Amino acid sequence: MQRLGIRSEIGVDHLLASSAIPFIFPATRIHREYFGDGSMRQLAPISPAIHLGAERVLIIGAGRANENQPRRGSEDYPSLAQIAGHTLSSIFLDGLAVDIERMQGINQMLAASEGQVHATRGMRPIRTLVISPSQRLDRIAAEHADALPWPVKLLLTGLGAMNRQGGALTSYLLFEKPFTRALIDLGYADTMARSAEVSSFLEL
């Protein structure tokens, strides 16, 4: 398998590399190599932690889980911003959702067989806790799009991203303080709403 998990102390360089969307943000050098956003090729993002021996995995997602609300139809052809936002979401969000579903399926299989058959293959149940935002991040991004530097706003205006429909693309480019503060506040509120569950998971 084309994957390798290495124990390391996570630092600022790792965070910058994880945020380095190709063609948009520069790659970050760590030791002797340059790294960009791992989601471009990491189709199983939870896998490295499991292969390093993790028995519990806390997953903080960026997409809303179990969103079954019907979408509003539109007769207008999608803008370049909508197409780009949809493409980026399929790269950065869908892989995690599929990996979670796969892991939960394996957990159910192991529970049904009591782990007897699969122990020899190194398969083991993984306890997980998934925290996803209770609000759509693209809508929050659309509300704070004016905080972008004017050259970026000019570019996004041409792509049709300076509105709610183009919020998905904007959310990947918006690192300004008003937006990041809104994300921090949302993450804190969503976590505190499940504080008992989090404490039980972490055994605090």
**pLDDT of amino acid 69:** 57
Residue 196: pLDDT band (50, 70, 90) is very high
| Average pLDDT over every residue of 1-12 | 75
- Return the top range by mean pLDDT from 32-36, 81-85, 109-113, 186-190: 186-190
Extract the tokens encoding 140. 């929050």
Q: Could you read off the pLDDT of 139-189 as tens digits, one per residue?
A: 999 899 888 888 888 888 888 878 878 888 888 888 899 999 999 999 999
Residue 121 pLDDT > 70, yes or no? no
Residue 2: pLDDT band (50, 70, 90) is low
**pLDDT of amino acid 66:** 56
Do residues 48 and 38 make contact, with C-beta atoms less than 8 angstroms apart?
no
Q: Could you read off the pLDDT of 19-72 as tens digits, one per residue?
A: 888 877 889 998 888 988 867 767 788 888 888 888 899 998 877 665 555 556
Minimal CA–CA distance to 53: which of 96, 7, 108?
A: 7
Extract the tokens encoding 197. 């569950």
**pLDDT of amino acid 154:** 86
**Bigger pLDDT: 31 or 2?**
31
Could you give the CA distance from residue 46 to residue 56 in angstroms, rounded to a whole number?
11
What are the extents of the domains in the chain?
1-42, 43-65+78-198
Three-state SS for the chain is CCCCCCCCCCCHHHHHHHCCCCCCCCCEEECCEEECCHHHCCCCCCHHHHHCCCCEEEEECCCCCCCCCCCCCCCCCCCHHHHHHHHHHHHHCHHHHHHHHHHHHHHHHHHHHCCCCCHHHCCCCCEEEEECCCCCHHHHHHHCHHHCCHHHHHHHHHHCCCCHHHHHHHHHHCCCHHHHHHHHHHHHHHHHCCHHHHHHHHCC
